[in-house]
Amino acid sequence: MTVYKVPQQELQFILEHLVNYSDLCAMPGFEDAGEDMVAAILPEAARFFEQVVAPTNWPSNTQPAYLEGDRVITSPALDGVYQQMVEAGWCSLSGSTQYGGAGFPAIIDAAVQEMLQSANVGFSLLPTLTRGVIHALNLYGSEEQKDRYLHKLISGVWSGTMDLTESQAGSDLSVVKTKAVPQGDHYLISGQKIYISWGEHQQAENIIHLVLARLPNAPEGNEGISLFLVPKYLIDDDGTLAQRNDVKAVGVEHKLGIHSSPTCTLAFGDNGGAVGYLVGPKNKGLMCMFSMMNHARLAVGHQGVSVGERAYQQAVEYANQRIQGAVHGVEGRAAIIHHADVKRMLAQMRALTEAGRAMSLYTIATQDRATHHQDKQIREVSAERVEIMTPLVKGWCTEMAMETTSLGVQVHGGMGFIEETGAAQHMRDARILPIYEGTNGIQALDFVGRKCLRDKGSGLQQVITEMTQTADSLADHSDMVKSLTVPLISTIDQCQSAIEYILQNNHKASFAAYQFMMLLGNSIAYWQLLILACAAQREIEAGHKDNFLSQKVATAQFYQSQILPRNHAHLEAIISDSKFVDDLSFEGA
């Protein structure tokens, strides 16, 4: 198994040259999260996740969680690890100081969460889902609910879950059947939920479930769903835990990957009804839950980056060690890292991972501006940008994670198909990412529909304008910078053509949605990668000689020559005649 090393220099370079962290930490509420503080925190986090969490990845994969009665027993490799993470404060970095959090910008929390996700992606779901509950309660919880639950959730002493899916209600939540019956100052919840990540475990003292359910006589469909807070243990007035609530695990899924995460089937109300409390307005549960889901979608996109990083590091280490064949210029038998096609695969893994990281962290920094910037107009523009970018981060980054982890297996050759090398685990773990929190088909439909057609492309046009401004600002720089900028101009034209075509042929939008998402994702990711490469090139030209800097430029060159040409195919697929779609039939397949 490869030893995971946090890409600290890469993270610091993004903070300095892409998201302008010096301005970000000057916004109200972030004054105590300055650059010096971050420079001290990130290495400490890196040591923790490299030394404490990363070694659990393989054993927790081979010894997954299981059900014993109504208790879920998690992998012994994780025993005590979550408690160490809570005690070290890594769960509470971005939490509000009002409720005991450290008050750091979300982008710093995202950098630390990447470390956790690369170290053990299944385990990372535990605090990730808790953050979603915190986000939803901050937006829609009553003051009493915030006071009662946020301190323990932000610290990580309690964990949280999203309870949406039922056997008959996957992506279509309009057919949710779980019931909520009024009972004094609370509700009695009954029904069953499936695919609940970390739905039952012993790692945290309490589990706070956010559950979608229907009130009596609620309207049919999406308009009749409400959101309820259902704790595993009820809580006395003084904040201490009381009796067990009427919710239990009745199954643990046997999954393709993320074995360290117990994915549970939960039964509510087998003994009369689980006590629950309404969160937000009645019959507006989907609105409340989507705030949590969009938060989770950004996290899932970055999980794609994180798994890609772990697979890439393992592939590089193996390629350096594996001796196979002869290569011109290398004496004797050569390590496979000297073979041209292996170099191509490793470069592709690195380019896709670094581009995804740049796009993801750019979006999360924009989210920080949307919530904390002094200027109302900047907050509003930033919020709109985050809305546009969320399906791209979730969709594009997770598609690239599948490609990257598959290449990682390929670099290992036959050994990649052997479980003990660990390469296959990354591919299996990554496979869930394009599926959960809304499949990538749903992300594509959201992107083309709500993020393009609904506003007639005005939001995307603002992105195109900024990309054009970047190209214009680099026009008078060195030949190297210009060589990276010219392809951006062509890419902008392709994006413009795709947007115009979709707006003129909106009846074809659903069929073209995936190609549209991938074209814009490829393009915006290159834009972010270009900004970083040009910053590196400027430092090189200023006399700084560093392999990291030269590799930033080389990676952007690879992306430009080997990834961007895909855009031509995506655009051709978008504008192609799709009349044949109505003739397709899959009966009897």
**Considering the chain, what percentage of its residues have pLDDT values greater than 70?**
99
For residue 82, pLDDT beyond 80:
yes
Contacts of 327 (CB under 8 A, 6+ apart): 334, 338, 339
- According to the model, what pLDDT value does residue 589 have? 59
Of 317, 420, 437, 500, catalytic: 437
Question: What's the mean per-residue pLDDT of the chain?
Answer: 95
pLDDT in tens, 6-56: 999 999 999 999 999 999 999 999 988 999 999 999 999 999 999 999 999
Q: What region, left, alpha or beta, does residue 575 occupy, with left being phi > 0 and alpha being psi -120 to 50 degrees?
A: alpha
β-pairing, 233-235 vs 241-244, is: antiparallel
34 DSSP assignment: -
Strand partners, 276: 187
Q: 316, 156, 290: which is closest to 225 by C-alpha?
A: 290
437 is catalytic: yes
The Cα 482–Cα 245 span in angstroms is 63
CA–CA distance from 451 to each of 456, 459, 460, 513, 537 (Å)?
9, 7, 7, 11, 34
Per-residue burial over 466-496, b if 16 or more Cβ lie within 10 Å, else e, is ebeebbeebeeeeebbeebbebbeebbebbb
The Cα 70–Cα 200 span in angstroms is 9
**Alpha helix stretches (DSSP H) within 79-205:** 81-88, 106-119, 121-140, 143-155
**Considering the chain, what percentage of its residues have pLDDT values greater than 90?**
88
Domain boundaries, the chain: 1-354+377-434, 439-577
**Using 50, 70 and 90 to split pLDDT, how confident is the model at 1?**
low
Q: What is the largest CA-CA distance in the chain?
A: 81
The Cα 85–Cα 307 span in angstroms is 20
Q: Per-residue DSSP letters for 302-316? A: HHHHHHHHHHHHHHH
- According to the model, what pLDDT value does residue 170 have? 67
pLDDT in tens, 129-144: 999 999 999 999 999 9
Angle (CA) 283-285-288 rounded to 5° is 135
The Cα 117–Cα 84 span in angstroms is 16
Q: In which residue are the tokens 């006399």 written?
A: 543
pLDDT in tens, 61-77: 999 999 999 899 999 99
The mean-pLDDT minimum among 163-177, 318-332, 359-373 falls in 163-177
3-class DSSP assignment, residue 267: strand
Q: Please state which architecture CATH assigns to domain 1-354+377-434.
A: Beta Barrel (2.40)
For residue 478, pLDDT beyond 90:
no
